[in-house]
């Protein structure tokens, strides 16, 4: 297997893009990444997206994006793994390049959700769960996460306000990311008074659905000198899985998919959790930050909040998280999110983020993208090339 690297990145701001359509968001990010890499053509593209069919009445998205990106004759397929679609698309590109089948692959994650009603989007996002046995019981996607948070509060006796450390940190970092959707800080008081969406999850525990596209160009590490963009090594991009329905898991508070995916990523990179300098966590909800940190081996079960308080997860802390705002502050353009995470980690390694959010220890980054309630989890480890 060949080692792989990223030589180009691109992203649109995460916004309510009412004036831009799905294909143009994708094309902008992809062509930006190609320009950054200094490539005119690609061997193939993968498109990470969850809901183009359900919301924009558009499937066959791989072909459409290739067509409009001016990539005549280049193969493109959509990769779907719910909220994990973005990193799943990166995983497919990594497989193609590592195996030697392709040399230069473009990955673009794209999603467009904000022009539809909240109820429509709620219904569409719930399709990540088991349609016959979870969704038809009236369970929303927020509801699934609320079941986890309620049980976590019960088992480990936390005060709900203890969870505020994650969204407060995410919003603080998002202030300095021009591409983030929520560039304003939030306070503990606002968190404590925030409107409940599905008890105990409130609006400030929840990442906002958004529109956006992000892209990376994946190549063989042995060839990086042929490209213009500053290379960042992909040490691992590994998938772990679990049952789709939450109720089928022995212990729902242990994200086995995250554990499997992180363990594989540590194994192939030869690293351990303590080697990770900063972490782009899938903070779709505060509870998921907690469960992800625990299952990925950063801290024991039931201790993620104490770990965050003790070590510090802000930019100056020992373990910076959500450094460009995370899903909570940057926004959660569902199928694009996993690519945004990797783009931002690459920006940290390239030292191109605003100085206020530049982490000092930036050699090894980990990003984790979680599909549904954890049935598909992709952990990516990036390394600075020195």
Q: How far is the CB of 116 from other proteins (least distance, A)?
A: 12
Q: Are 72 and 119 in contact (CB under 8 A)?
A: no
Q: How far is the CB of 335 from other proteins (least distance, A)?
A: 20
State whether residue 371 is helix, strand or coil: strand
How far from chain centre, in Å, is Cα 362? 18
* CA count, 13 A, side-chain hemisphere, 254: 10
Nearer to other proteins, 6 or 146 (CB): 146
Q: Tell me which of 83, 171, 282, 324 is the catalytic residue.
A: 83
Residue 196 DSSP one-character state:
E
Residue 356 DSSP one-character state:
G
Nearer to other proteins, 101 or 137 (CB): 137
Nearer to other proteins, 78 or 332 (CB): 332
Q: How far is the CB of 308 from other proteins (least distance, A)?
A: 23
321 DSSP β-pair partners: 279
Q: Tell me which of 17, 171, 282, 332 is the catalytic residue.
A: 332
368 DSSP β-pair partners: 379
Residue 359 DSSP one-character state:
-
Residue 353, token pair as written in the block:
């983020």
Q: How far is the CB of 384 from other proteins (least distance, A)?
A: 42
Q: Are 109 and 335 in contact (CB under 8 A)?
A: yes
Query: What is the Cα–Cα distance from 311 to 236, expressed in whole angstroms?
Result: 25
Nearer to other proteins, 63 or 203 (CB): 203
Q: How far is the CB of 264 from other proteins (least distance, A)?
A: 22
Residue 209 DSSP one-character state:
B
Q: Are 255 and 84 in contact (CB under 8 A)?
A: no
Nearer to other proteins, 287 or 378 (CB): 287
Is 332 one of the annotated active-site residues of the chain?
A: yes
Query: What is the Cα–Cα distance from 33 to 18, expressed in whole angstroms?
Result: 23
Contact residues for other proteins (CB under 8 A)? Answer: 118-120, 122-123, 126, 130, 132-140, 142-143, 146-148, 150-151, 154, 196-201, 245-248, 252
- Looking up tokens 């990106």 gives 69
Q: What separation, in Å, do the N-terminal and C-terminal C-alpha atoms of the chain show?
A: 22
State whether residue 19 is helix, strand or coil: coil
Q: How far is the CB of 376 from other proteins (least distance, A)?
A: 18
Is 324 one of the annotated active-site residues of the chain?
A: no
Q: Which residues contact 63 (CB under 8 A, 6 or more apart)?
A: 76
Nearer to other proteins, 134 or 259 (CB): 134
Q: Which are the catalytic amino acids?
A: 83, 332
């Amino acid at each position: 297997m060949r080692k792989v690297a990223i030589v180009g990145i691109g992203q649109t701001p995460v916004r309510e893009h009412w004036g831009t359509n799905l294909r143009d968001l994708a094309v902008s990010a992809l062509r930006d990444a190609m320009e950054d890499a200094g490539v005119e053509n690609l061997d193939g593209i993968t498109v990470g997206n969850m809901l183009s069919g359900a919301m924009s009445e558009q499937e066959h998205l791989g072909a459409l994006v290739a067509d409009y990106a001016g990539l005549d004759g280049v193969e493109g397929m959509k990769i779907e793994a719910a909220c994990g679609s973005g990193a799943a698309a990166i995983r497919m590109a990594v497989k193609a390049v590592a195996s030697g089948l392709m040399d230069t692959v473009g990955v673009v994650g794209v999603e467009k959700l904000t022009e539809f009603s909240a109820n429509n989007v709620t219904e569409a996002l719930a399709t990540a769960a088991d349609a016959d046995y979870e969704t038809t019981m009236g369970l929303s996607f927020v509801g699934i996460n609320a079941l986890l948070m309620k049980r976590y509060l019960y088992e480990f006796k936390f005060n709900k306000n203890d969870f505020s450390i994650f969204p407060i940190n995410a919003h603080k970092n998002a202030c300095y990311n021009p591409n983030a959707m929520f560039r304003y800080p939030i306070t503990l008081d606002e968190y404590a008074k925030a409107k409940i969406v599905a008890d105990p999850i409130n609006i400030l525990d929840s990442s906002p659905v958004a529109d956006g596209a992000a892209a990376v160009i994946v190549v063989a590490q042995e060839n990086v000198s042929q490209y213009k963009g500053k290379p960042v090594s992909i040490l691992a991009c590994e998938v772990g899985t679990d049952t789709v329905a939450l109720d089928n898991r022995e212990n729902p508070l242990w994200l086995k998919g995250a554990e499997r995916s992180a363990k594989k990523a540590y194994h192939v990179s030869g690293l351990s959790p303590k080697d990770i300098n900063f972490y782009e966590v899938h903070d779709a909800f505060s509870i998921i930050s907690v469960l992800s940190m625990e299952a990925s081996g950063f801290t024991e079960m039931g201790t993620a909040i104490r770990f965050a308080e003790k070590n510090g997860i802000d930019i100056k802390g020992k373990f910076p998280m959500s450094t460009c705002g995370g899903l909570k502050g940057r926004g959660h353009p569902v199928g694009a999110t996993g690519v945004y995470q990797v783009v931002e980690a690459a920006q940290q390694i390239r030292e191109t983020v605003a100085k206020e959010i530049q982490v000092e220890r930036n050699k090894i980054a980990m990003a984790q993208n979680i599909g549904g309630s954890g049935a598909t989890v992709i952990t990516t480890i990036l390394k600075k090339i020195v």
